[in-house]
Structure 1
Amino acid sequence: MFNKKNLNKIPKMNNIHYIYLIGIGGSGMGGIATILVKQGYKISGSDISSNFIIKKLSLLNIKINLQHDAKNITNNIDLIIISSAIKNNNPELIAAKKLNIAIISRGEMLAELMRFFYGITITGSHGKTTTTAIVYKIFKLFMLDPTFVNGGFLKFSKENAYLGSSKYFIAEADESDKSFLYLNPIINIITNIESEHLDYYQNNIEILKKTFLKFLKKIPFYGCIIICIDNIHNYNLIKQNKNFLKQNIITYGFHKEADLQLYNYQQNGYKSRFYLLEKKKKISLEINLNIPGYHNALNSIAAFATASYVGLDPIMIIEFLKKFKGIERRFDILGHILPYQKIKYKKNIIIIDDYGHHPTEINITINIARKIWPNRKLVMVFQPHRYSRTKNLLNKFVQILSKVDKLFILNTYSAGENIIKKANSEFLTKKIRELGIINPKFINLTDYYDIANNIYLKLKGNEILIFQGAGNINNISSLLISNNFKNLKN
């Protein structure tokens, strides 16, 4: 029987009831699992170890196996979703193929979730997680109740996924494995394009740029491309293809040609202020943020452009931008190390946790810290992420990491990659030392307590201690911030 109440209800996937996610502990996979369980599907999954995401999913009564085992795959499973980190020899994947269960990637599932919504995606080499969160926060404060999937967690609500009731679906779109090509948004933001994840693009940035262009062409003619032209690759992409792209295009940045031009940027501690010139309207607006950095000013204007494009009031958008408090592990000030009872002189050490793992991101972290605390020594604990990234960007890593006062380098977080000897942590330490600016220390330990103790004993006090990396390095910072040491000797 026809029922008007069902007009806006998202149709369920026919014959799909039980869904299993292999690699469920990743941020993107965990977000998808959250949406699916809220939609009423039976969800379970697996990963190799527990983390914050898995603990959150367990609270939703999602059963999670902490190992990949063929026995976990049963014939009552209707659909398998796999993370991009899952290899072809994964025993659960092999078992699913033997049982002829439908198998799709994370990107394909995200596309299906977005299919019946007004899709808003955020892409780019850097800044997409924060920008996605700002867009979501604005829409949420406007009471638009959007659905949301992101690669990072908002600081206070601890959300990285939410099933809303409106037509809007806001999502971080991942270019790292080309999975963003599955998506068909109406609005897309491109923050920047850099030499990142080139292993998926034949180590050729030109192929990466062509893939971004292919994605932009998928946006409908009535949709909108919002793009930062401070980035040279973004600038050339639009300049060279503007006549071929039929969509609305809004450029933003400090660049003099930007439609939305930022100017007079000032940073005061952790806060920032700047002005925005809307050239078409010929008006100038003052913007105040509670997050620091040029990059966050740009992220906020990308979100401003998105909200304005769908018709939200600009003055209210500006007020809501002030309410954004940031993302966990993005220049995340965790607090102070409490002086250990046996070593009283090590006082006033501020710990920062940052997810950045590319030289450009690390450089931003260093510059912000120098700006906020110009008179403090900067100590960084860096965990390289992937041997391939270290190999491809070795010289840039050496130059950027040499900008801190003291550097500890941990073993590489491989993310499943095979070891590359001339791109491991010991080799990176050697190359930085050879540059002659600082004398880095390679900590060849695996136990979190041992690493924490090793670092603490070498601190002098009144320092800024930054834990930098996308792997499991935050497990160490959490020990220090909680003053949780064992067998510490001065």
Structure 2
Amino acid sequence: MAPGIPNAMDRPHFIGIGGAGMSGIAKILAQRGAVVAGSDARESPTADALRALGVSVHIGHAAEHLADDAGCVVVSSAIRADNPELVRAAERGIPVVHRSDALAALMHGLRPVAVAGTHGKTTTTSMLAVSLGELGLKPSYAIGGDLDAPGSNALHGDGEIFVAEADESDRSFHKYAPEVAIVLNVELDHHANYASMDEIYDSFVTFTERITEGGTLVISADQDGARELTRRVAGSVRTVTYGEAADADVRVLSVVARGLTSEVTVLLDGRELGFTVSVPGRHYALNAVAALAAGAALGVPAAELAPAIAAYTGVKRRLQLKGEAAGVQVIDSYAHHPTEMTADLEAMRGAAGDARILVVYQPHLFSRTQELGKEMGAALALADASLVLDVYPAREDPIPGITSEVVIEAARAAGADVSAVRDRGEVPALVAGMAKAGDLVITMGAGDVTDLGPLILDRLAK
């Protein structure tokens, strides 16, 4: 068994190894010396990055891909029970480990920081990991997106800190025992798993109960759901609040936009501290303050950590500039919840000046569209014009009567200029016909809408 690897995970097989969360764990295990294998539905840059680390990646799912000597099979909640590799594991008596249990095992014995919330997890986790790295602390991290290249979503570092996203969608964040937990916001989402806000609050309370003795909860002082959670856990855990609210422990005094960056000033321990955030938007500035507060809770001097945060320059799919052609910039956004959509569109509106903002939006999940489709449509009213694709199903089966028309009708009711597109292959030509020099085009959503960015750029260049 390689050092730092739980026994059953010295020869793991990952089903869906190309996913953001799964590939990160596989990468760390490979860097620690495990013999890692897995399968994914299709080739990808992530698969190539894993192979560069010595990981055996099979394309497609088949029983024969699972080696007889596999120590365990790692799965996420998206893997269905009839997956042939999972069926073979049951036949062979090979242990099945959920992704969250595998990640929890990797964090054991270190100083974990778990970043939770309905949105903003990837950015905040990245900001903290990058800034700690800038200070030479060599953290390990597992992030739900690539920092600068495929495969850069995770790293085994030699330091004692491990920074990881904590996913509330399937309650898997209950598996972690963080020294510091960040809660950015608490909103109703993941409707297939949560029936009400009370269920979500209960789930987040359970997460805070997992904070180790003497640990710290860092939580927003601004967002209504976070304030309610703070009320519910009062007295049970050391809590540090952050935000623009007058009663915040780490109080944001100002956020000043400077083009595609922001200058942030906070009041921390009675002292004003200013620093630069190298991505646009007030919500990203607040994510940076959450990272700063968490680092301070770990004992990292805030005066050193603050300037290091400027080293973070973004995560793929988080307002990522894909390129420019014919004077039109194409930007990719992972936003798929109405709050995220609004935040990203407001950020781009603030940075764009008089430029028009054109959006290609793909609703994500039938259940989310059923519950939040009207709010998605309202968010699109912040754009000058939008094209709306069919719902990206991901792991879900269709829900009768729930289509992208739910979003489109709400957008039109809010006064938005919006058009339905049934054939995504038509999008590049449609955008090229709409866009003029100086415009910004945003591909938005958590599905494969991201693949359209390069195609739009190619069409614009012709």
TM-score, structure 1 as length reference? 0.90
- Residue 476 in structure 1 maps to residue 455 in structure 2: no
Q: CA RMSD in A?
A: 1.9
In 2, Cα distance between equivalents of 1:188 and 1:62: 31
Stretch moving more, 160-169 or 414-423 = 414-423
CA–CA distance in 1 between the matches of 2:294 and 2:56? Answer: 37
Answer whether contact 1:174 1:180 (CA < 8 A) is retained: yes
Q: CA deviation at 1:446?
A: 4.6
Match of 2:437 among 438, 461, 464: 461
2:442 alignment partner AA: I
- 1:16 Cα offset (Å): 4.7
> Which residue does the alignment assign to 1:299?
287
1:3: which partner in 2?
none
The residue that corresponds to 2:333 in the other structure is 354
Partners of 1:131 and 1:321 in 2: CA distance: 10
TM value normalised by structure 2: 0.95
Matched, 1:271 2:261: yes
The structure 2 residue matched to 1:225, chosen from 208, 217, 239, is 217
What does the per-residue CA deviation read over 1:389-435, in whole Å, with 9 as the maximum and x for residues that have no partner?
010102211211122111111122111211124321244334433x1
Partner of 1:111 in structure 2?
Answer: 104
Question: Within 1, Cα distance between the matches of 2:345 and 2:5?
Answer: 47
Q: Residue by residue, what CA displacement relative to the aligned partner does 1:450-471 show, whole Å, maximum 9, x if unpaired?
A: 4323322332332110000111
One-letter code aligned to 1:106: R
CA distance 1:63–1:182, change in 2 (3 Å): same
| Contact 1:221-1:248 at 8 Å conserved across structures | no
1:175-186 matches, within 5 Å, as: 175-186=168-179
The alpha carbon displacement at 1:156 in A equals 6.7
1:11 shift after superposition: 4.0
Task: Report whether the alignment pairs 1:419 with 2:380.
Answer: no
Equivalent-residue separation in structure 2 for 1:170 and 1:300 (angstroms): 14
Residue 401 of structure 1 corresponds to: 380
Of 178-187 and 232-241, deviating more is 232-241
Q: Distance in 2 between matches of 1:153 and 1:429?
A: 31
**Which structure would you say has the larger Rg?**
1
2-structure distance, mates of 1:427, 1:288: 40
Cα contact 1:34–1:161 (8 A) shared by 2: yes
Write the letter of the residue equivalent to 2:275. I
1:444 to 413, 422, 435: 422
Deviation at 1:374, TM superposition (A): 2.6
Range moving further from structure 2, 156-165 or 372-381: 156-165
One of 344, 347, 357 as aligned partner of 1:368: 347
Bigger Cα displacement from structure 2, 409-418 vs 380-389 = 409-418
Distance 1:79 1:187, change over 3 A: same
Q: 5+ unaligned residues in a row in structure 2: which ranges?
A: none
* Of 154-163 and 71-80, the range deviating more from structure 2: 154-163
2:202 to 203, 207, 210: 210
Could you tell me which runs of 5 or more consecutive residues in structure 1 were left unpaired when the two chains were aligned: 1-8, 338-346
Aligned amino acid, residue 88 of structure 1? A
Matches of 1:410 and 1:445, distance apart in 2:
8
Query: Quick one: which amino acid aligns to residue 34 of structure 2?
Result: Y
Equivalent AA in structure 1 for residue 360 of structure 2: V
Share of identical aligned residues, percent?
A: 28
Q: Closer, same or farther in 2 for the Cα pair 1:55/1:424, shift >3 Å?
A: farther
User: Which residue type is aligned with residue 357 of structure 1?
Assistant: H
Distance 1:92 1:144 in 2: 39
Match of 2:36 in 1: 43
Matching of residue 390 in structure 1 with residue 369 in structure 2 = yes
- Are the equivalent residues in 2 in contact too, given 1:421–1:427 (CA < 8 A)? no
